[in-house]
Structure 1
Amino acid sequence: TLLIDSPKAEHAEIMAIIKGPDLATGGTLVDPKSIIDAAYESGRGAMRVRCKWEKEDAEGRGAWQIVVTEIPYQVQKGKLIEQIAQIIADKKLPILADIRDESDEQVRIILEPKSRAVDPEDLMNALFRMSDLENRFSLNMNVLDKDRVPKVMGISEVLKQWIVHQIEVLLRRSQHRLDKIDSRLELLGGYIIAYLNLDRVIEIIRNHDEPKPMLMDEFQLTDRQAEAILNMRLRSLRKLEEMELRRERDKLLEERDGLEKLIESPARQKTRLKKDLADLRKLYAEDTALGARRTMLIEAAPAREISLEAFIEKEPVTVIMSQRGWIKAMKGHADLSAPDSFKFKEGDGPKFAFHAQTTDKLLMCCDNGRFYTIGADKLPGARGFGEPVGSMVDLEAGAEPIALMVADMKARLLLASTWGRGFVANIADVVAETKKGRQVVNLKGDARLIVVRPVPEDADHVAAIGENRKLVVFSLSEMPEMAKGQGVMLQRYKDGGLSDAIVFTLEEGLSWAMGGVSGRTRTENDLTMWRVARGAAGRLPPTGFPKSGKFD
Structure 2
Amino acid sequence: MEPDSSSTIDTPFEAALSERYLVYALSTITARSLPDVRDGLKPVHRRLLWAMRLLRLDPAGAYKKSARVVGDVIGKYHPHGDASVYDAMVRLAQSFALRYPLVDGQGNFGNIDGDNAAAYRYTEAKLTPIAMQLMAGLDEGTVEFRPTYNGEEEEPEVFPGLFPNLLANGASGIAVGMATSIPPHNVAELIDAATHLIDNPHAETRDLMDFVSGPDFPTGGVVVDSRQAITHAYETGRGSFRLRATVTQEKEKGGGWHLLVSEVPYGVQKGKLIEQIADLIANKKLPILADVRDESAEDIRIVLEPRSRTVEPELLLESLYRLTDLELRFPLNLNVLDANRTPGVMSLKQCLTAWLAFQIDVMLNRSRTRVAKIDDRLELLDGFLIAFLNLDRVIEIIRTEDEPKAVMIAEFSLTDRQAEAILNMRLRSLRKLEEMEISRERTALAKEREELVKLIESPARQRTRLKKDLSTVRDKFGDDRRTRIEEGPATRAEIDWSRMIEKEPITVILSQRGWIRAMKGHVGLDDAETLKFREGDGLARIFHAQTTDKLLLVGENGRVYTLGGDKLPGGRGFGEPVRLSIDLPADVEIADLFVVRPAMKLLAASTDGRGFVTSGEAVLAETRKGKQLMNLRADAKLATLRIVPEEADAVAVVGENRKLLVFNLAELPEMGRGAGVQLQRYRQGGLADLKPIRFADGLSWSMGGETGRVRTEADLTAWKGIRGASGRMAPLGFPRSNRFS
Shift of 1:374: 1.9
Where 1:514 maps in the other structure, the secondary structure is: strand
In the other structure, the counterpart of 1:329 is: 518
Shift of 1:272: 0.8
Shift of 1:154: 5.3
Contact kept? 1:411, 1:454, Cα under 8 Å: yes
Q: Does residue 119 of the first structure (1) align with residue 119 of the second (2)?
A: no
Q: Does residue 339 of the first structure (1) align with residue 532 of the second (2)?
A: no
Contact kept? 2:286, 2:500, Cα under 8 Å: no
Q: Does residue 524 of the first structure (1) align with residue 691 of the second (2)?
A: no
Q: Does residue 278 of the first structure (1) align with residue 471 of the second (2)?
A: yes
Where 1:273 maps in the other structure, the secondary structure is: helix
Q: Pick from 256, 259, 264 the counterpart of residue 457 of structure 2.
A: 264
State the alpha-carbon separation in 1 of the partners of residues 282 and 380 from structure 2: 77
Q: Do the aligned partners of residues 216 and 85 (structure 1) sit closer, same or farther apart at CA in structure 2, a change above 3 Å counting?
A: farther
Q: Does residue 301 of the first structure (1) align with residue 301 of the second (2)?
A: no
Q: Does residue 426 of the first structure (1) align with residue 619 of the second (2)?
A: no
Shift of 1:528: 3.6
Contact kept? 2:205, 2:347, Cα under 8 Å: no
State the alpha-carbon separation in 2 of the partners of residues 47 and 386 from structure 1: 48
Q: Deviations over 1:27-58 (max 9, x none)?
A: 11223334434544555554433221123457
Q: Which 5+ residue runs of structure 2 have no aligned equivalent?
A: 1-194
| Equivalent residue runs for 1:161-310 within 5 Å | 161-186=354-379, 197=394, 248-285=441-478, 291-302=479-490, 303-310=492-499
Q: Deviations over 1:197-231 (max 9, x none)?
A: 57865888xx88xx98888778766566677788x
In the other structure, the counterpart of 1:348 is: 537
State the alpha-carbon separation in 2 of the partners of residues 184 and 157 from structure 1: 40
In the other structure, the counterpart of 2:213 is: 19
Q: Do the aligned partners of residues 202 and 72 (structure 1) sit closer, same or farther apart at CA in structure 2, a change above 3 Å counting?
A: farther
Q: Percent identity?
A: 55
Q: Does residue 410 of the first structure (1) align with residue 604 of the second (2)?
A: no
Q: Do the aligned partners of residues 93 and 221 (structure 1) sit closer, same or farther apart at CA in structure 2, a change above 3 Å counting?
A: farther
State the alpha-carbon separation in 2 of the partners of residues 97 and 53 from structure 1: 17
State the alpha-carbon separation in 2 of the partners of residues 126 and 457 from structure 1: 36
Q: Pick from 542, 550, 556 the counterpart of residue 367 of structure 1.
A: 556
Q: Deviations over 1:246-304 (max 9, x none)?
A: 6555443332222112112222212211211221221244xxxxx11011122333542
Shift of 1:480: 1.5
Where 1:373 maps in the other structure, the secondary structure is: strand
Shift of 1:418: 1.6
Contact kept? 1:420, 1:497, Cα under 8 Å: yes
In the other structure, the counterpart of 1:460 is: 649
Q: Deviations over 1:132-161 (max 9, x none)?
A: 433344445566777877776655565455
The Cα RMSD (Å) is 3.7
- Using the TM superposition, name which of 295-304 and 274-283 deviates more: 295-304
State the alpha-carbon separation in 1 of the partners of residues 308 and 425 from structure 2: 84
Q: TM-score, normalised by structure 1?
A: 0.84
Shift of 1:177: 2.1
Q: Pick from 38, 52, 62 the counterpart of residue 246 of structure 2.
A: 52
Contact kept? 1:93, 1:308, Cα under 8 Å: no
In the other structure, the counterpart of 1:482 is: 671
Shift of 1:361: 1.7
| Residue type of the alignment partner of 2:199 | D
In the other structure, the counterpart of 2:258 is: 65
Where 1:257 maps in the other structure, the secondary structure is: helix
| Residue type of the alignment partner of 2:318 | N
State the alpha-carbon separation in 1 of the partners of residues 273 and 570 from structure 2: 33
Where 2:728 maps in the other structure, the secondary structure is: coil
In the other structure, the counterpart of 1:288 is: none
State the alpha-carbon separation in 2 of the partners of residues 466 and 51 from structure 1: 64
State the alpha-carbon separation in 2 of the partners of residues 397 and 424 from structure 1: 28
In the other structure, the counterpart of 1:319 is: 508
| Residue type of the alignment partner of 1:168 | D
State the alpha-carbon separation in 2 of the partners of residues 233 and 391 from structure 1: 101
State the alpha-carbon separation in 2 of the partners of residues 350 and 119 from structure 1: 39
State the alpha-carbon separation in 1 of the partners of residues 292 and 704 from structure 2: 59
State the alpha-carbon separation in 2 of the partners of residues 203 and 496 from structure 1: 145
- Using the TM superposition, name which of 43-52 and 256-265 deviates more: 43-52
Q: Does residue 382 of the first structure (1) align with residue 571 of the second (2)?
A: yes
Where 1:338 maps in the other structure, the secondary structure is: helix
Contact kept? 1:317, 1:358, Cα under 8 Å: yes
Q: Deviations over 1:327-379 (max 9, x none)?
A: 22222221111212134334433222111222222222122222122221222
State the alpha-carbon separation in 2 of the partners of residues 470 and 7 from structure 1: 90
- Using the TM superposition, name which of 349-358 and 133-142 deviates more: 133-142
Q: Do the aligned partners of residues 109 and 186 (structure 1) sit closer, same or farther apart at CA in structure 2, a change above 3 Å counting?
A: farther
- Using the TM superposition, name which of 98-107 and 116-125 deviates more: 98-107
Where 1:278 maps in the other structure, the secondary structure is: helix
State the alpha-carbon separation in 2 of the partners of residues 2 and 105 from structure 1: 38
In the other structure, the counterpart of 2:199 is: 5
State the alpha-carbon separation in 2 of the partners of residues 144 and 62 from structure 1: 57
Q: Deviations over 1:522-542 (max 9, x none)?
A: 222343443332222333322
| Residue type of the alignment partner of 2:623 | T
| Residue type of the alignment partner of 2:592 | A
Where 1:454 maps in the other structure, the secondary structure is: strand
State the alpha-carbon separation in 2 of the partners of residues 249 and 477 from structure 1: 109
State the alpha-carbon separation in 2 of the partners of residues 332 and 172 from structure 1: 85
Contact kept? 2:652, 2:661, Cα under 8 Å: yes
Q: Do the aligned partners of residues 103 and 468 (structure 1) sit closer, same or farther apart at CA in structure 2, a change above 3 Å counting?
A: same
Contact kept? 1:95, 1:123, Cα under 8 Å: yes
Contact kept? 1:142, 1:152, Cα under 8 Å: yes
In the other structure, the counterpart of 2:227 is: 33
Shift of 1:485: 1.3
Shift of 1:430: 0.7
Contact kept? 1:394, 1:436, Cα under 8 Å: yes
Where 2:583 maps in the other structure, the secondary structure is: coil
State the alpha-carbon separation in 2 of the partners of residues 313 and 97 from structure 1: 12
Q: Pick from 509, 513, 517 the counterpart of residue 702 of structure 2.
A: 513
State the alpha-carbon separation in 2 of the partners of residues 98 and 528 from structure 1: 64
| Residue type of the alignment partner of 1:181 | I
In the other structure, the counterpart of 1:93 is: 286
| Equivalent residue runs for 1:126-165 within 5 Å | 126-141=319-334, 155=348, 159-165=352-358
Contact kept? 1:284, 1:292, Cα under 8 Å: no
Q: Deviations over 1:423-452 (max 9, x none)?
A: 111112111122322221222333221212
Alignment length (residue pairs): 541
Shift of 1:405: 1.5
| Residue type of the alignment partner of 2:467 | K
| Residue type of the alignment partner of 1:360 | D
Where 1:49 maps in the other structure, the secondary structure is: strand
Shift of 1:500: 1.6
State the alpha-carbon separation in 2 of the partners of residues 348 and 222 from structure 1: 119
Q: Deviations over 1:474-502 (max 9, x none)?
A: 22222221111111122222332222222
Q: Do the aligned partners of residues 116 and 214 (structure 1) sit closer, same or farther apart at CA in structure 2, a change above 3 Å counting?
A: farther
State the alpha-carbon separation in 1 of the partners of residues 427 and 277 from structure 2: 74
